[in-house]
Each structure stands twice: as C-alpha cells, then as structure tokens.
Amino acid sequence: MNNSVTALMTELQEEQVLALIKEQIGNGTNVNEILDACQEGMVGVGKKFEQGKYYISDLMMAGEIFKQISALLAPYMKGTEGNLLGQVIVGTVKDDIHDIGKDLVVGMLKSANIGVTDLGVDVPPERFVEAVKETGAKVVCLSALLTVAFDSIKATVDALADAGLRDKVKIIIGGGPVDETVCQYTGADNWGGDAQAAVSLAKEWL
C-alpha cells in the first residue's frame, strides 16, 4: 500500500495522499514506513524536476504537501530523530527578507531525512554562528535573492571563520542571482541553482 503513497506523492495528488496516510495511521501502519514512502515520492518529484517535467511551482507544492504530511506524522514520530542523516542550518541572510526559496529548501531537506534549523529571514551573521555552535551542524545553507545581500553572505562566511568554525562546516549559497562568481566572492564552498541541488550537496557533505 505504501507504493501508493509514493506514487501519489510523486504525482502531487494532495487530497488523495493525505487521505491515504490518515487511513494508514488509523490502521496502525508504522509511521517510519509511511515517512519512507513519502520520501521516495519526494525523490520522484526531484527527478521529474531534473527532467524538466516539473517546475519550481511543482517543487513548492510538493514541499507544502510534505509539510502537511509531517504534521500528521509528528505525534507518532517521537524518538526517531536519531535516524537523521545530519543537521543543517538554513536562513536568508541579513538585508534580505525573501523566504520562498528558503522554505522550499527546508521542505526538501526534511523530506530527505535531514534535520533542519530554520533561522528565518534577515538573519545577521552572528546568529548563524550561534546556531552552528548550538546544533553542531556540518552544513550551512545561505539564501539571498537580492544582489545587495551578497555582502551579507560574505560577512556570514567571514563570521564563521572568525569564530573558528569555517573548517568545521560546508557552506552552500543559493538564490536567483547566485552563481559561481558570487560563490567565489563570498568564500562559500558551493552554490545551488535550485532546491534539488541544495539537497544533493547537503547529502553529499553529510
């Protein structure tokens, strides 16, 4: 039956997949099995995006569906955090308040069984430093949609270096205007052109 969950998730059938999951929860199906099926579905969504069959709007929809599924499963998921691949810090840097791309990355990271600390938007460099110290995260994802925020990305990278944490974390940056030139300017380790790239890099580093 969980193959049906995977298929419905991949096809973005929101009402049907939520109804099926509620039914499975009611029947006592192991929530980890349900979550695994949903994660397989998200992988399918990512593949369709890479193939050009899905667009950013589809990824956003998938993220919203997964968020609802996570809320359904959360009461039954206590004690499963130890199965996470690792911890990632995500935030939109200071002087930028855009959150659509950030939220998409957060949703897809969670669907890949990665623990996420979402710092929100307009996040100052020192808050990223604090979060790394608090969580021990090995990956930091910095989002920016405005070119004026490139200096904030660089300041965040520099702040992590000043705190003695630069060699302990991998930094990925993303956002509409971000490219290899921006990556070199800011001192980040890599950049992602879309949410799927961010997830792939995070999994590789973790």
106 and 151 share one domain: yes
137 and 175 share one domain: yes
- Write down the pTM of the prediction: 0.71
40 and 138 share one domain: no
108 φψ region: left (φ > 0), alpha (ψ -120 to 50), beta (else) = alpha
The residue out of 33, 57, 76 marking a domain boundary is 76
Question: Taking 50 as the threshold, does the pLDDT of residue 79 lie above it?
Answer: no
66 and 116 share one domain: no
Domain enclosing residue 30, as ranges: 2-76
Q: Work out how many domains the chain is built from and give that number.
A: 2
Span 28-68, pLDDT tens digits = 998 878 888 887 888 888 889 889 999 888 988 988 898 89
In angstroms, the CA 115 to CA 185 distance is: 28
Please state, rounded to an integer, the average pLDDT across all residues of the chain. Answer: 89
In angstroms, the CA 125 to CA 123 distance is: 7
Span 115-151, pLDDT tens digits = 999 999 999 999 999 999 999 999 999 999 889 999 9
Average pLDDT over residues 94-106: 86
CATH number reported for the structural domain that contains residue 198 in this entry: 3.40.50.280
Confidence band of 184 (pLDDT split at 50, 70, 90): very high
- What proportion of the chain, given as a percentage, has pLDDT over 70? 96
130 and 67 share one domain: no
Contacts 24+ apart (CB under 8 A), 42-51: 42/9, 42/66, 42/108, 42/111, 42/112, 44/6, 44/9, 44/10, 45/9, 45/10, 45/12, 46/108, 46/196, 46/199, 48/10, 49/194, 49/196, 50/196
Instruction: For the chain, give the secondary structure using H, E and C.
Output: CHHHHHHHHHCCCHHHHHHHHHHHHHCCCCHHHHHHHHHHHHHHHHHHHHCCCCCHHHHHHHHHHHHHHHHHHHHHCCCCHHHCCCEEEEEEECCCCCCHHHHHHHHHHHHCCCEEEECCCCECHHHHHHHHHHHCCCEEEEECCCHHHHHHHHHHHHHHHHCCCHHHCEEEEECCCCCHHHHHHHCCCEEECCHHHHHHHHHHHC
Whole-number pLDDT of residue 84: 82
For the chain, the straight-line distance linking the first and the last C-alpha, in angstroms and rounded, comes to: 31
